[in-house]
Amino acid sequence: MTEQKEENIEEVDLEIQVETMQTNHSRKSTLKVITLVTLTLQNAMVALSMRYARTRPGDMFISSTAVVMAEVFKLFVCLILVYHTESISWKHFISLLNNTIIKQPMDTLKVCIPSLVYLIQNNLLYVSTSNLDAATYQVTYQLKIFTTAVFSVLILKRKLLRHQWIALVILILGVVLVQLNNSTDKSQKTYPDQNRIVGLVAALIACCLSGFAGVYFEKILKGAEISIWMRNIQLSFVSIPLGFVMCFVTDWNNINNKGFFFGYDLYIVYLIILQAAGGLIVAMVVKYADNILKGFATSLAIVVACVFSMYFFDFTIIFTTVNPSEGEVEPQNEEKVTYEVIIQQAKHTLKTFS
């Protein structure tokens, strides 16, 4: 009788464990979807907002100062989150920061590399969006999917199957099929100060930096028990001083003559908050998903950026389709722009890696 009771208890415990595992898996899957969707929307908003900020009439703000202020705002938000989620008092909060950051210098130094890389990358993105329209920037920047996959194999020793590599190629081809108006006459007349070569080079370098920094950050984020908010605090403690140094090295004359906050208004404040939010969302995506899925999610932002930039930034998209029976690429009417190929290929690839 006693043995039967013990067996029943063990069965109940096993059922509870299974239910707990299923609940945790379901919760993680939900968080993965939510963070990926949020990142997609945020990336589209950043592309459009940065483009408008750099091409609108009025005083031009100094982009390097905006990058630093985004890091400052992100630090402020993460400090609040750590205080409310990981500490029980102000004294305990200070002690937590001291033990995690000051007393573990080698661990803090680990984040120096992605901090510096992210800082350079963010400045390059401002250069890129200043010289490219929103859709061209988004399409070019999707090369980070390849760089992320390569660095995932090299750094994380992650093995990608053949069909996964094929899925990567298919997704990139789906993005490339959105061909832009190559003449750029209208764009050059509207914004004569733009240099498309400079914008393209800046975007390509940012792709490589994004792939490396993202994978490296995933490694240090998943390789320790430190929360994503504390990791972001460590990032900010390194990136903010570096950001100020870069500000005064690259834009000292402008800052000295015009002031650090020259050209700032409510719209620039919104842009800074949006950029800071992106850093926090990326950390959550890396925590609950991975960098390759992050790349696929951000590629979907092209659809939103293309649609809205047609109306706000006066450019035309030429959509092409592939005839599967003949293997021919046929241009569509510019007035009948659709994005079904991109969406379907992205959905297929996301399922492949999920």
pLDDT digits (tens, 9 = 90+) for 326-338: 434 444 443 333 3
**Assigned domain for 332 exists:** no
For 228-261, b/e burial (b = at least 16 CB within 10 A) is: bbbbbbbbbbbbbebbbebbeeebeebbeeeebe
pLDDT at 259: 93
| Lowest-pLDDT choice from 69-78, 173-182, 292-301 | 173-182
**Assigned domain for 349 exists:** no
pLDDT at 330: 47
**Contact assessment for residue 129 and residue 44, using Cβ atoms and an 8 Å cutoff:** no
Long-range contacts: 331-336, Cβ < 8 Å, 24+? 331/179
CA distance 170 to 256: 49
pLDDT at 258: 93
Best-predicted range by mean pLDDT (32-41, 113-122, 140-149, 264-273): 264-273
Segment 100-127 shows an average pLDDT of 82
Q: What is the DSSP letter of 61?
A: P
**Assigned domain for 345 exists:** no
The answer on pLDDT for 285 being more than 60 is: yes
What pLDDT digit, counting tens, does each position of 168-198 carry? 777 667 656 643 444 444 445 555 567 878 8
**Assigned domain for 176 exists:** yes
The more confident residue out of 155 and 10 is 155
Whether the predicted model's global pTM rises above the 0.85 cut: no
Domain containing 251 equals 19-322
Half-sphere exposure in the Cβ direction for 110 (13 Å, CA): 18
Segment 265-291 shows an average pLDDT of 85
- pLDDT above 70 covers a percentage of the chain that reads 66
**Assigned domain for 76 exists:** yes
pLDDT at 2: 57
The answer on pLDDT for 340 being more than 50 is: no
pLDDT band (50, 70, 90) for residue 63: confident
The answer on pLDDT for 99 being more than 80 is: yes
pLDDT at 228: 84
The answer on pLDDT for 324 being more than 50 is: no
**Assigned domain for 57 exists:** yes
Helix axes of 144-155 and 291-299: crossing angle, nearest 10 degrees:
180
The more confident residue out of 35 and 343 is 35
**Assigned domain for 335 exists:** no
**Assigned domain for 331 exists:** no
pLDDT at 103: 85
pLDDT at 315: 55
pLDDT band (50, 70, 90) for residue 37: confident
* Total number of domains in the chain: 1
Q: Please give the biggest Cα pair distance in the chain.
A: 90
Beta strand extents in the chain (DSSP E only) = 178-180, 317-323, 328-331
Q: Which of 205, 208, 53, 229 is nearest to 124 (CA)?
A: 205
